[in-house]
Amino acid sequence: MGFLKARFLNILISVLFLLPPFSRAGLEESREKAGRLFDGGFPSAALALAPAPEDRGRPSFEFLQQMKEVMSSGRWSGSVPQVRQFMFRNSQEGWTAQAQSAGLEGFLWTKKELETKYGADKFNHHADEYFAYLDNLLKPVPWTQGLRDALSNLKAQNISPAEKNARLNEMLEYYVAGLQTNIQKYDLADWAKKARIYELFPRAYNLDGRRTSPGFRSPSDPGKTLFFRDFQTSDFDVIKRMGFDTVWPMGILPIGVRGQTGTGGGSPYSISDHGTVNPDLGDEQDFRGFVKKAHAAGLRVIVDFVVNHTSLDSRLLAENPNYFISFRYDGACPRDGYFDYYWQSAKYCVHHGGFESGGGVSSWIDTAQVNYSNQALRNRMTEIVKGWVTKFDVDGFRVDMAYLALNNVFARAWQKSMPASEFYRQLIWTVKAAKPSAAFMAEAYAFQEDLSACGFDSIYSKYETARPEGQTGWYNATESGNAGEIRSSVNRAAYLAWQKGGAGSVVFIGNHDEPAPEKIYGRRLPAALMMTMLYPGSVMMYSSAEIGYDAAIPNGEPKPLPFSAPAQIDWSAGNPWVKATYQTVLTEAKKVRAELGDYDMTPLWPADGGAWAGYVLTSKTTGRKKALIANVTWNGTNAGIPQYGFSSWLEPGAYKLIDVK
């Protein structure tokens, strides 16, 4: 069998070297054929570890993880990456550009992008470095040996640099296309990279009020409303009609009483029990019914996993204060960050939940800090999270402040020696073994690369500055109104929507932590919203944004639905201009998605000096294209795209959708 595999791959590589330049249609056909070469139907070296066809319903996690390493993260040793992103240098101008990821997808995307913009000859000096990088990336994974041999053969060939580079690109395109096809087959949580998420706050949602507001049908529900018991198919239909396929009921876990802040019922992130639902919203059977009704309506359900902390009176703390950053002490606990807790006739000083800040630790005073240097705690948390898929059949988890539990972050903040492996590798693969389609979405403002390598399926795109091009986080870039940052964020988002090996991007212009979008964007709101809603990756919107409802506390809590005071959405109120903007954009975006189906996104780069940003959407099935040109800056700008015959003046907040050929 080994001889057949090697002979087959050698034949494939020989054919690749003889292939002529492709038209768009020819290239897509060739990619499709290449994908079939790696799907297990032929004795290909690329699928040596693939499970048998009859086992496809439950993916081989070892094989899936290896594919993701090759495509995205490279091999990691504990918390340390063994391969870094390739750095491209323009030989003429001297600047450098970092590959979008450490794996094949990031390398190939960035290489082709730079060569298209500046000419491949500007990067020919990298030829030997290309082959060294690729061999280093591939050698830890045995089934890539055929590709490594082919690359070595290509490196040794006495041909022109231009021809060698073209053949390298062709070879990598075929290989990447094949592995992307495989990942889509084996990664049953891939849906999360395109999820359209409607976040709602059950405590403030006002289910009865929504049903009686104009435009919504109202089932009769006598007596007290319990959110999970009384949420009906028609309520899910309201969400689905806006274009969403996933619901995230935020704040459904029981809230602690000790140290509770405010008058609104406490922070939904001061959790007394990570394993069940808040009884004010219904019981566990009610929640099971909620999930079943969502599934019947064609919607998935994700829930919070608050990884970093619990309440001051949590079930976990009652089980064992050694699960926490704590010490046993008979005297007065330090005032700086600690509270006292009694367990089995002994007094413990337990640290409030917190995060590294300014060389020290900032704390949330209504929380207790979980200790991830304790393997027993890791096992307990894994068991709890797994219970949400085995007991309730939820589809995924939004992990609160996810990066705080990474080994390097936790060790530095709390001065602890950590287990060799990352907690998330244990957690994610254990939960996925129970439900392979379960997805993990990280709230993260740093260490996105580490979280992706741990197995997260998607990550917030808010703040990401660990790249040479500067700010590429979607929210912060669009919020700023800086044209350069907006275009960088569009480019980064386009890559993350295309790639399959790493975590996808979740874009938004508002959520429960941010002020109401109209406050942030002002008259720029229509352009920012349309750019977000047409993104082909994952998109998130917070309930009540669609009507412009804002109950923020002046000079206090800027959230549109505050935690510290009672809040109920008044669905008959809101801001008329915001409501009209959302209705227009959501309707138009839904129409475009219906027309194009599944589509790719290609950034547009202004050649006219304009401050606009945009992208082209290309249907994967019909090839039909639409371009979105938008002005999310604070000033008007000219927008000209000669190749599309487009020229227009765009005021702040204006956008144009055009058909292109």
pLDDT greater than 60 at residue 14:
no
Assigned CATH for 192-306+375-594:
3.20.20.80
Residues whose CB is less than 8 angstroms from the CB of residue 358 and which lie 6 or more positions away in sequence, other chains included: none
Domain boundaries, the chain: 2-186, 192-306+375-594, 599-660
Residues whose CB is less than 8 angstroms from the CB of residue 333 and which lie 6 or more positions away in sequence, other chains included: 339, 340, 349
DSSP state of 53: G
Q: Tell me: the pLDDT tens digits for 575-587?
A: 999 999 999 999 9
Q: Tell me: the pLDDT tens digits for 531-552?
A: 999 999 999 999 999 999 999 9
Going by pLDDT thresholds of 50, 70 and 90, the confidence category of residue 300 is very high
Burial class of residue 605 (count of CB atoms within 10 Å of its CB; 0-12, 13-18, 19+): exposed
pLDDT greater than 50 at residue 35:
no
What's the distance, CA 412 to chain centroid? 25
The Cα 629–Cα 648 span in angstroms is 10
The Cα 203–Cα 544 span in angstroms is 13
Sheet order of strands, 326-328 included:
326-328, 346-351, 338-343
Q: Tell me: the pLDDT tens digits for 303-343?
A: 999 999 999 999 999 999 999 999 999 999 998 899 999 99
Answer for the pair 330, 345: CB distance below 8 angstroms, yes or no.
no
- Determine the average pLDDT of the residues in 57-62: 68
Average pLDDT, the chain: 89
The Cα 388–Cα 392 span in angstroms is 5
The Cα 316–Cα 349 span in angstroms is 15
The Cα 478–Cα 488 span in angstroms is 10
Q: Tell me: the pLDDT tens digits for 230-274?
A: 999 999 999 999 999 999 999 999 999 999 999 999 999 999 999
Which two structure tokens, joined as six digits, stand for 97?
């550009």
Burial class of residue 298 (count of CB atoms within 10 Å of its CB; 0-12, 13-18, 19+): exposed
The Cα 363–Cα 84 span in angstroms is 34
End-to-end CA distance of the chain: 47
The Cα 273–Cα 280 span in angstroms is 14
Going by pLDDT thresholds of 50, 70 and 90, the confidence category of residue 36 is very low
Compute φ and ψ for 15, nearest 5 degrees. -65, -40
Q: What is the pLDDT of residue 335?
A: 85
Q: What is the pLDDT of residue 336?
A: 86
pLDDT greater than 50 at residue 218:
no
Share of the chain above pLDDT 70, in %: 89
The Cα 203–Cα 562 span in angstroms is 11
pLDDT greater than 70 at residue 562:
yes
Which of these ranges, 48-62, 72-86, 189-203, 465-479, has the smallest mean pLDDT?
A: 48-62
The count of other CB atoms within 10 Å of the CB of residue 352 is 21
- Determine the average pLDDT of the residues in 599-627: 95
CA angle 373, 339, 418 (to 5 degrees): 10
Q: Tell me: the pLDDT tens digits for 103-154?
A: 999 999 999 999 999 999 999 999 999 999 999 999 999 999 999 999 999 9
> Whole-model pTM?
0.90
Q: What is the pLDDT of residue 59?
A: 56
Q: What is the pLDDT of residue 224?
A: 62
Going by pLDDT thresholds of 50, 70 and 90, the confidence category of residue 5 is very low
* Core vs surface per residue 216-228: b (16+ CB within 10 A) or e: eeeeeeeeebbbb
pLDDT greater than 70 at residue 80:
yes
Q: Tell me: the pLDDT tens digits for 428-449?
A: 999 999 999 999 999 999 999 9
Residues whose CB is less than 8 angstroms from the CB of residue 355 and which lie 6 or more positions away in sequence, other chains included: 308, 361, 362, 401, 404, 413
Which CATH fold topology does 599-660 show?
Answer: Immunoglobulin-like (2.60.40)
pLDDT greater than 70 at residue 32:
no
The Cα 434–Cα 431 span in angstroms is 5
Going by pLDDT thresholds of 50, 70 and 90, the confidence category of residue 357 is confident
The Cα 563–Cα 541 span in angstroms is 18
The structure tokens 């972050």 sit at: 409
Helices (H), 360-459: 375-392, 407-414, 423-434, 448-454
17 vs 628, more confident = 628
User: Which runs of E-coded beta strand occur in 187-228?
Assistant: 196-200
